[in-house]
């Protein structure tokens, strides 16, 4: 569940100014049904004073889209056109007591609808900056100018932030590279203008983009490159006891136990080497072996195998199971 502020909930459950505004002087449509949200803003303007006297909205979208639309109408009613045009998407979010980051695009939609409605009132076609620059995100129809404006007005420095604010890159994510390019350029300009600290700016060198290559590497290559978690059991001839170092002895004990384990595992048990202290070999028996009447027999069996393999007298002792 999203963490919506009380004000967002209130504007969703009791939206103000929803519905059609008959005889509107300006209408702005943004979004599309395929995007999952769309907004139509309708305004009435008092000609002599250039004041917005009424505003209504129709919205297809989630709770915060409806709340943002309604908030927008509340914010702009009573304002002059010039005042209204200075409202940013952040102002809409602030009015609502904040929006979850993933929902910031709802406030951007409000901002755009207002621009579109005013342009429509003035008899202009809104310079829809979705068509101004190159289309970056095809899934959501977001272009370069839109990303640039959102980066600038919100001081964004991360690709994920751009996705949260504009949706760009939130679909197939093939445009990740394009978004990075815009972010890098705009952040650099902002640094040059002195509005962004250089260390805050997006740094493509430090950013690792998820690779989307579809290359099949042969299994052997992968296995060879991967660290080997389990030591190979190599059946080497036992060195003569006299020539054997302590290390060699321990290795040999280890290897022998590894060879015994499969037969224990078949019966639902297992045996693990804990320590070697001189000729005392500490093992832990687990699974079905524990508490089994035959566990002493198993210990003896392990001991016999070890003595045979290592060629020196050994005493196998069970370690207390600990968990």
Residue 56 near another protein by CB under 8 A: no
Structure tokens given for 230: 């389990």
Structure tokens given for 44: 């009435």
Residue 3 near another protein by CB under 8 A: no
Q: Report whether 23 contacts 111 (CB < 8 A).
A: no
Tell me how crowded residue 184 is: count the other CB atoms within 10 A of its CB: 15
Q: Judging by beta carbons within 10 Å of its beta carbon (0-12, 13-18, 19+), is residue 65 exposed, middle or buried? A: buried
Adjacent-strand bridge partners of 133? none
Residue 219 near another protein by CB under 8 A: yes
CB of 33 to another protein, least distance (A): 5
289 is catalytic: no
Tell me how crowded residue 33 is: count the other CB atoms within 10 A of its CB: 9
Q: Which of 123, 229, 235, 278 binds another protein (CB under 8 A)?
A: 229
CB of 287 to another protein, least distance (A): 5
Residue 211 near another protein by CB under 8 A: yes
Q: Which range of residues in 73-81, 166-174, 232-240, 242-250 is near another protein by CB under 8 A?
A: 166-174
Closest CA to 74 of 157, 24, 17: 17
35 is catalytic: yes
269/287 Cα distance (integer angstroms)? 4
81/74 Cα distance (integer angstroms)? 14
Helix (H/G/I), strand (E/B), else coil: 297: helix
Residue 216 near another protein by CB under 8 A: yes
The 123-162 contact track toward another protein, x by CB under 8 A, reads ----------------xx----------------------
279/281 Cα distance (integer angstroms)? 6
Give the interface size with another protein as a residue count (CB under 8 A). 55
Residue 11 near another protein by CB under 8 A: no
Q: Which residues bind another protein (CB under 8 A)?
A: 2, 9, 12-13, 15, 18-19, 29, 33-34, 36-40, 58-63, 65-66, 102-103, 139-140, 163, 167, 170-171, 210-219, 222, 229, 265, 268-270, 272, 286-287, 290-291, 320-321, 323
Q: Which residues are catalytic?
A: 35, 106
């Amino acid at each position: 569940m999203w963490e919506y502020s009380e004000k967002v909930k209130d504007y969703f459950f009791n939206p103000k100014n929803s519905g059609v505004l008959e005889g509107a002087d300006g209408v702005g449509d943004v979004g599309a049904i395929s995007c999952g949200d769309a907004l139509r803003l309708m305004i009435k303007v008092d000609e002599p004073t250039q004041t917005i006297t009424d505003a209504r909205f129709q919205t297809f979208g989630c709770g915060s889209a409806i709340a943002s639309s309604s908030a927008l109408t509340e914010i702009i009613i009573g304002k002059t056109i010039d005042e209204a045009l200075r409202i940013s998407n952040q102002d809409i979010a602030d009015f609502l007591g904040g929006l979850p980051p993933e929902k910031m695009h709802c406030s951007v939609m409000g901002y755009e609808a207002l621009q579109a409605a005013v342009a429509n009132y003035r008899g202009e076609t809104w310079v829809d900056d979705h068509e101004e620059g190159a289309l970056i995100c095809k899934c959501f129809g977001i272009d370069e100018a839109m990303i640039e404006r959102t980066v600038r007005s919100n001081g964004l420095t991360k690709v994920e932030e751009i996705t949260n604010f504009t949706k760009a890159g939130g679909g197939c994510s093939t445009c990740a590279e394009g978004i990075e390019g815009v972010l890098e350029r705009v952040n650099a300009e902002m640094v040059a203008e002195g509005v962004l600290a250089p260390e805050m700016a997006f740094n493509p060198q430090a950013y690792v983009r998820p690779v989307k290559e579809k290359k099949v590497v042969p299994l052997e290559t992968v296995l060879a490159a991967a660290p080997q978690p389990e030591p190979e059991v190599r059946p080497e001839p036992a060195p003569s006891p006299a020539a054997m170092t302590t290390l060699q002895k321990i290795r040999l004990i280890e290897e022998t136990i590894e060879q015994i384990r499969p037969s224990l595992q078949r019966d639902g048990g297992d045996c693990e080497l804990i320590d070697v202290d001189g000729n005392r070999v500490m093992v832990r028996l687990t699974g079905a072996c524990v508490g089994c009447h035959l566990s002493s027999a198993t210990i003896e069996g392990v001991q016999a195998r070890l003595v045979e393999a290592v060629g020196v007298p050994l005493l196998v002792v069970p370690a207390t199971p600990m968990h």
